[in-house]
Amino acid sequence: MIRLMNEEESVVLRCLTAAEESLAITAQKAADAFQNGGRVIYIGAGTSGRIALSDAAEMPPTFGIEPDRFVAIIAGGTASRDKAVEDAEDDIYASITALNEMGVSRRDIVIGIAASGTTPFVVSAVHHARQKGVWTCGIANNRGSDLLEVAEHPILLETGPEVLTGSTRMKAGTAQKLALNRISTAAMVLSGKVVENLMVDVKAKNQKLKDRCARIVCDLTPATRDEAWQLLEENDWSIRKVIEMTREPAMLP
Protein backbone atom coordinates (compact mmCIF):
# COMPACT_ATOMS: atom_id res chain seq x y z
CA MET A 1 0.00 0.00 0.00
CA ILE A 2 2.75 2.41 0.94
CA ARG A 3 4.64 1.68 -2.27
CA LEU A 4 1.50 2.25 -4.35
CA MET A 5 0.84 5.59 -2.66
CA ASN A 6 4.45 6.64 -3.19
CA GLU A 7 4.26 5.73 -6.86
CA GLU A 8 1.05 7.71 -7.27
CA GLU A 9 2.49 10.75 -5.48
CA SER A 10 5.38 10.91 -7.97
CA VAL A 11 3.06 12.66 -10.41
CA VAL A 12 2.80 15.67 -8.10
CA LEU A 13 6.22 17.15 -8.86
CA ARG A 14 5.64 16.68 -12.59
CA CYS A 15 2.48 18.74 -12.25
CA LEU A 16 4.33 21.46 -10.35
CA THR A 17 7.05 21.50 -13.00
CA ALA A 18 4.46 21.88 -15.75
CA ALA A 19 2.90 24.79 -13.84
CA GLU A 20 6.14 26.65 -13.10
CA GLU A 21 5.42 29.64 -15.33
CA SER A 22 1.86 30.03 -14.02
CA LEU A 23 3.05 29.76 -10.42
CA ALA A 24 5.77 32.34 -11.08
CA ILE A 25 3.21 34.81 -12.46
CA THR A 26 1.04 34.31 -9.37
CA ALA A 27 4.02 34.78 -7.06
CA GLN A 28 4.85 38.08 -8.77
CA LYS A 29 1.23 39.23 -8.42
CA ALA A 30 1.31 38.28 -4.74
CA ALA A 31 4.55 40.21 -4.25
CA ASP A 32 3.11 43.25 -6.03
CA ALA A 33 0.00 43.15 -3.84
CA PHE A 34 2.06 42.80 -0.67
CA GLN A 35 4.41 45.64 -1.60
CA ASN A 36 1.48 47.92 -2.43
CA GLY A 37 -0.18 47.34 0.93
CA GLY A 38 -2.69 44.79 -0.35
CA ARG A 39 -3.49 41.28 0.76
CA VAL A 40 -3.22 37.78 -0.63
CA ILE A 41 -6.60 36.20 0.06
CA TYR A 42 -6.99 32.44 -0.23
CA ILE A 43 -10.45 30.91 -0.68
CA GLY A 44 -11.00 27.21 -0.05
CA ALA A 45 -13.25 24.51 1.39
CA GLY A 46 -12.50 21.22 3.12
CA THR A 47 -8.95 19.98 2.58
CA SER A 48 -8.14 22.86 0.23
CA GLY A 49 -9.34 25.39 2.79
CA ARG A 50 -7.27 23.89 5.59
CA ILE A 51 -4.20 23.84 3.35
CA ALA A 52 -4.79 27.51 2.56
CA LEU A 53 -5.29 28.28 6.25
CA SER A 54 -2.02 26.56 7.12
CA ASP A 55 -0.03 28.47 4.51
CA ALA A 56 -1.46 31.83 5.61
CA ALA A 57 -0.86 31.05 9.30
CA GLU A 58 2.81 30.28 8.70
CA MET A 59 3.59 33.60 7.02
CA PRO A 60 3.83 35.92 10.08
CA PRO A 61 6.31 33.84 12.12
CA THR A 62 8.37 32.92 9.06
CA PHE A 63 8.64 36.32 7.42
CA GLY A 64 7.74 38.77 10.19
CA ILE A 65 4.65 40.14 8.46
CA GLU A 66 1.32 41.19 9.93
CA PRO A 67 -1.28 38.39 10.12
CA ASP A 68 -3.72 40.28 7.91
CA ARG A 69 -1.48 40.27 4.82
CA PHE A 70 -1.96 36.60 3.88
CA VAL A 71 -5.42 35.44 4.92
CA ALA A 72 -7.63 32.43 4.24
CA ILE A 73 -11.40 32.37 3.91
CA ILE A 74 -12.54 28.79 4.52
CA ALA A 75 -16.01 27.33 4.09
CA GLY A 76 -17.63 26.81 7.47
CA GLY A 77 -15.46 29.46 9.14
CA THR A 78 -13.48 28.72 12.28
CA ALA A 79 -15.42 25.50 12.91
CA SER A 80 -13.80 23.99 9.82
CA ARG A 81 -10.30 24.35 11.24
CA ASP A 82 -10.69 21.38 13.57
CA LYS A 83 -13.33 19.26 11.83
CA ALA A 84 -14.97 18.88 8.45
CA VAL A 85 -18.11 20.92 7.75
CA GLU A 86 -19.04 19.25 4.50
CA ASP A 87 -22.19 21.17 3.58
CA ALA A 88 -20.52 24.58 3.94
CA GLU A 89 -18.83 24.26 0.55
CA ASP A 90 -22.21 24.57 -1.22
CA ASP A 91 -22.93 28.03 0.18
CA ILE A 92 -22.40 30.44 -2.74
CA TYR A 93 -23.11 33.52 -0.63
CA ALA A 94 -20.95 32.98 2.45
CA SER A 95 -17.65 33.53 0.64
CA ILE A 96 -18.98 36.61 -1.15
CA THR A 97 -20.16 38.03 2.17
CA ALA A 98 -16.74 37.32 3.72
CA LEU A 99 -14.95 39.13 0.90
CA ASN A 100 -17.25 42.13 1.19
CA GLU A 101 -16.85 42.29 4.97
CA MET A 102 -13.08 42.27 4.47
CA GLY A 103 -13.40 45.19 2.08
CA VAL A 104 -11.63 43.40 -0.78
CA SER A 105 -10.13 45.91 -3.20
CA ARG A 106 -8.01 46.07 -6.32
CA ARG A 107 -4.90 46.25 -4.16
CA ASP A 108 -5.60 42.65 -3.10
CA ILE A 109 -5.43 39.42 -5.06
CA VAL A 110 -7.74 36.43 -4.57
CA ILE A 111 -6.57 32.83 -5.03
CA GLY A 112 -9.26 30.15 -5.10
CA ILE A 113 -8.26 26.55 -4.44
CA ALA A 114 -10.48 23.52 -5.17
CA ALA A 115 -9.42 20.06 -6.25
CA SER A 116 -12.59 19.48 -8.26
CA GLY A 117 -12.65 23.04 -9.52
CA THR A 118 -16.42 23.08 -9.02
CA THR A 119 -16.80 23.95 -5.30
CA PRO A 120 -19.57 26.61 -5.22
CA PHE A 121 -18.09 28.41 -2.19
CA VAL A 122 -14.82 28.94 -4.06
CA VAL A 123 -16.11 29.53 -7.59
CA SER A 124 -18.62 32.18 -6.51
CA ALA A 125 -15.99 34.07 -4.51
CA VAL A 126 -13.50 34.13 -7.38
CA HIS A 127 -16.22 35.21 -9.82
CA HIS A 128 -17.32 37.99 -7.43
CA ALA A 129 -13.76 39.24 -6.87
CA ARG A 130 -13.06 39.34 -10.59
CA GLN A 131 -16.25 41.33 -11.20
CA LYS A 132 -14.95 43.89 -8.70
CA GLY A 133 -11.72 44.26 -10.69
CA VAL A 134 -9.59 42.20 -8.30
CA TRP A 135 -6.89 40.01 -9.88
CA THR A 136 -7.88 36.38 -9.40
CA CYS A 137 -6.18 33.01 -9.67
CA GLY A 138 -7.84 29.61 -9.64
CA ILE A 139 -5.96 26.45 -8.68
CA ALA A 140 -7.71 23.18 -9.54
CA ASN A 141 -6.83 19.59 -10.30
CA ASN A 142 -9.46 18.98 -12.99
CA ARG A 143 -9.04 20.26 -16.53
CA GLY A 144 -11.87 22.46 -17.87
CA SER A 145 -13.48 22.99 -14.46
CA ASP A 146 -15.56 26.02 -13.46
CA LEU A 147 -12.87 27.55 -11.27
CA LEU A 148 -10.34 27.55 -14.09
CA GLU A 149 -12.93 29.20 -16.33
CA VAL A 150 -13.93 32.05 -13.98
CA ALA A 151 -10.45 32.94 -12.72
CA GLU A 152 -8.41 35.49 -14.61
CA HIS A 153 -5.32 33.31 -14.17
CA PRO A 154 -5.97 29.53 -14.07
CA ILE A 155 -3.46 27.01 -12.75
CA LEU A 156 -4.10 23.36 -13.55
CA LEU A 157 -2.44 20.76 -11.34
CA GLU A 158 -3.57 17.65 -13.19
CA THR A 159 -2.78 14.97 -10.62
CA GLY A 160 -5.34 12.50 -11.98
CA PRO A 161 -7.48 9.98 -10.06
CA GLU A 162 -6.55 9.34 -6.44
CA VAL A 163 -5.34 5.92 -5.33
CA LEU A 164 -8.24 6.12 -2.84
CA THR A 165 -11.01 7.35 -5.11
CA GLY A 166 -12.25 10.81 -4.22
CA SER A 167 -9.78 11.37 -1.37
CA THR A 168 -8.31 14.67 -2.52
CA ARG A 169 -6.29 14.94 0.70
CA MET A 170 -3.79 12.76 -1.15
CA LYS A 171 -2.23 13.74 -4.51
CA ALA A 172 -4.43 16.76 -5.10
CA GLY A 173 -3.88 18.08 -1.58
CA THR A 174 -0.13 17.56 -1.78
CA ALA A 175 0.04 19.45 -5.07
CA GLN A 176 -2.03 22.32 -3.65
CA LYS A 177 0.17 22.56 -0.56
CA LEU A 178 3.32 22.73 -2.67
CA ALA A 179 1.77 25.28 -5.05
CA LEU A 180 0.82 27.67 -2.25
CA ASN A 181 4.21 27.14 -0.62
CA ARG A 182 5.95 28.19 -3.83
CA ILE A 183 3.69 31.20 -4.41
CA SER A 184 3.96 32.63 -0.89
CA THR A 185 7.68 31.91 -0.44
CA ALA A 186 8.64 33.36 -3.82
CA ALA A 187 6.48 36.43 -3.11
CA MET A 188 8.37 37.07 0.12
CA VAL A 189 11.74 36.61 -1.58
CA LEU A 190 10.68 39.13 -4.24
CA SER A 191 9.59 41.47 -1.45
CA GLY A 192 13.01 41.51 0.22
CA LYS A 193 12.14 39.28 3.16
CA VAL A 194 15.11 37.01 2.45
CA VAL A 195 18.83 37.77 2.31
CA GLU A 196 20.74 35.12 0.37
CA ASN A 197 18.70 32.10 1.50
CA LEU A 198 18.06 33.29 5.05
CA MET A 199 14.83 34.59 6.65
CA VAL A 200 15.98 37.88 8.12
CA ASP A 201 12.57 38.87 9.49
CA VAL A 202 11.78 35.65 11.37
CA LYS A 203 10.11 36.28 14.74
CA ALA A 204 12.09 34.96 17.73
CA LYS A 205 9.14 33.62 19.70
CA ASN A 206 10.95 30.74 21.41
CA GLN A 207 14.42 29.43 22.22
CA LYS A 208 14.75 27.50 18.96
CA LEU A 209 13.97 30.60 16.91
CA LYS A 210 16.36 32.72 18.99
CA ASP A 211 19.10 30.21 18.20
CA ARG A 212 18.18 30.47 14.52
CA CYS A 213 18.35 34.26 14.67
CA ALA A 214 21.83 34.11 16.16
CA ARG A 215 22.99 31.67 13.46
CA ILE A 216 21.63 33.92 10.73
CA VAL A 217 23.46 36.93 12.14
CA CYS A 218 26.68 34.88 12.33
CA ASP A 219 26.23 33.74 8.72
CA LEU A 220 25.63 37.24 7.38
CA THR A 221 28.01 39.31 9.51
CA PRO A 222 31.47 39.01 11.12
CA ALA A 223 29.85 38.74 14.58
CA THR A 224 30.62 35.77 16.84
CA ARG A 225 27.75 33.83 18.35
CA ASP A 226 28.08 35.62 21.69
CA GLU A 227 28.21 38.99 19.95
CA ALA A 228 25.23 38.09 17.80
CA TRP A 229 23.21 37.00 20.81
CA GLN A 230 24.01 40.18 22.74
CA LEU A 231 23.19 42.43 19.77
CA LEU A 232 19.91 40.64 19.20
CA GLU A 233 18.93 40.95 22.84
CA GLU A 234 19.70 44.67 22.70
CA ASN A 235 17.67 45.15 19.53
CA ASP A 236 14.45 43.27 20.31
CA TRP A 237 15.66 40.19 18.41
CA SER A 238 15.54 42.01 15.09
CA ILE A 239 17.95 40.32 12.70
CA ARG A 240 17.50 43.13 10.20
CA LYS A 241 18.51 45.81 12.72
CA VAL A 242 21.61 43.88 13.76
CA ILE A 243 22.65 43.33 10.15
CA GLU A 244 22.22 47.04 9.45
CA MET A 245 24.55 47.76 12.35
CA THR A 246 27.27 45.29 11.37
CA ARG A 247 27.14 45.06 7.61
CA GLU A 248 27.37 47.40 4.63
CA PRO A 249 23.89 48.92 4.04
CA ALA A 250 24.05 48.10 0.33
CA MET A 251 24.06 44.40 1.17
CA LEU A 252 20.46 44.51 2.43
CA PRO A 253 17.46 44.61 0.08
Calpha distance 46→49 (Å, rounded) = 5
Catalytic position from the list 9, 58, 149, 244: 58
Burial class (CB within 10 angstroms; exposed 0-12, middle 13-18, buried 19+) of 101: exposed
**Residue 89 is among the residues annotated as catalytic for this protein:** yes
Identify the H or E element spanning 112. Answer: strand 109-114
Q: What's the CA angle centered on 165, arms 159 and 124, to 5 degrees?
A: 65
How many Å apart are CA 230 and CA 82, to the nearest integer? 41
Report the C-alpha gap between 154 and 173 in whole angstroms: 17
Amino acid, single-letter form, for residue 58: E
Q: Which of 215, 48, 232 is nearest to 138 (CA)?
A: 48
Q: Quick check: is 21 catalytic?
A: no
Q: Are 110 and 41 in contact (CB under 8 A)?
A: yes
From 8, 66, 89, 244, active-site residue:
89
- What is the C-alpha separation between 178 and 173, in angstroms, rounded? 9
Among all residues, which ones are annotated catalytic? 58, 89
